Amino acid sequence: MRDMLLIALFAFLGAASAGVLGACVLLLIRRWSLTAHLAVVAGVAVAAMLAGTLAVAQAMFLSAHDLSVVTTVVAMAAVVSMVTALLLGRWVVARSRELALAARSFGDGGDFAAPERPSTAELAALSRELEATSVRLAESRDRERALESSRRELVAWISHDLRTPLAGLRAMAEALEDGVAAEPDRYLRQIRTEVERLNDMVGDLFELSRIHAGTLTLSPSRISLYDLIGDALAGADPLAREHGVRLLGDGVEPVPVEVDGREMSRVLGNLLVNAIRRTPADGTVAVAARRSDEGVVLSVTDGCGGIPEEDLPRVFDTGWRGTHARTPPAGAGLGLAIVRGIVEAHRGSATVRNVTGGCRFEVILPATEG
């Protein structure tokens, strides 16, 4: 037993000296290629075995012949180990370079295409992560292009919508200033109407900018949807009478919700104004609220005749105003975008679908206990 302990001790000391030397070499070449690191690791393994063997042989006073035999065996093992390490290093480096070239393609704005040749499990996992990242980047670029297109359209529409009332205000102001206005009171009323229209448009732009910037601050409180919808219907009643549209709120359950009353009133107001303007005279706009498995569902159903299926995904986009035949005479297509932004700030969702004779806008809000 004592002899075995001594042999183990001498072998450990010899191998440890080779290991320490190898660690120092690895530290010095830490920025070199993986091939060099694998070669050093293989060399350290063989050197550790040789150093341990020599230490034991020296302690046991082996014959010169026996020592040369052991040394020859270790040397052959060293040759095979070094060749294997070099081949493995070159193969891994080649796969790494292929992966780097593939990654460079989607970094330059293209799509990532994983190398077809097999690689190690780690490189394969990295390739899958890069492929998933490439998909997310492509989706992000598509969203950015869509947003940029919406911004350009919005600027063009806003410029057009501002130019018309401003030109009218200028003409009426000049007529009043020159004293050629036949009915000054009518001109003043019209000026007030146009100013209110411009003020509403600026207010919508400010609200939308707060939503996009993430600075919309909510002050939620417990409110009954019955009261909230009742106030919204009362506010929209004059516009409905002007357009000859009937407002119905019979399907409203007294469901409590935790929302910002002011912002949610704006949501309801925008949905009602949109529905009234797109519903023909003698039509009906119905408001309903109920509790469901998804939460609290608030719906506004109009009689617009329906929205083309290809337009449904764009209804809540900034600046969307539908076809020219259904474009209202006022507004810049911001109302529904504001609706979606406010609802999502309440951790809810806004959707639209076609129903018989029109379309139904639904707002789903988180349910409140009690």
Say if residue 141 is exposed, middle or buried (CB neighbours under 10 Å; 0-12, 13-18, 19+): exposed
Residue bearing tokens 């493995």:
88
pLDDT at res. 108: 60
Say if residue 283 is exposed, middle or buried (CB neighbours under 10 Å; 0-12, 13-18, 19+): buried
pLDDT at res. 309: 85
pLDDT at res. 211: 80
Residue bearing tokens 């935790």:
258
**Closest by CA position to 46, among listed 77, 92, 9:** 77
Say if residue 284 is exposed, middle or buried (CB neighbours under 10 Å; 0-12, 13-18, 19+): middle
The predicted model scores a pTM of 0.56
pLDDT at res. 241: 92
pLDDT tens series, the chain, 370 aa = 666 676 677 667 767 777 788 788 878 877 777 677 777 777 777 777 777 777 766 666 556 666 677 777 777 777 777 777 777 777 777 777 777 777 776 656 667 777 777 667 777 777 778 878 878 887 888 878 877 776 777 677 777 777 777 888 888 888 888 887 778 888 888 888 888 878 877 887 888 778 877 778 888 899 888 888 989 999 999 999 999 999 998 878 888 889 998 899 989 999 999 899 889 998 999 999 988 888 899 999 999 888 888 888 888 877 666 654 334 444 456 788 889 999 999 999 999 999 988 999 999 998 876 5
For residues 129 and 257, what is the distance between their CA atoms, to the nearest angstrom?
Answer: 41
pLDDT at res. 61: 55
pLDDT at res. 124: 77
pLDDT at res. 362: 93
Query: SS3 for 365?
Result: strand
Contact, 99 vs 119, CB < 8 A? yes
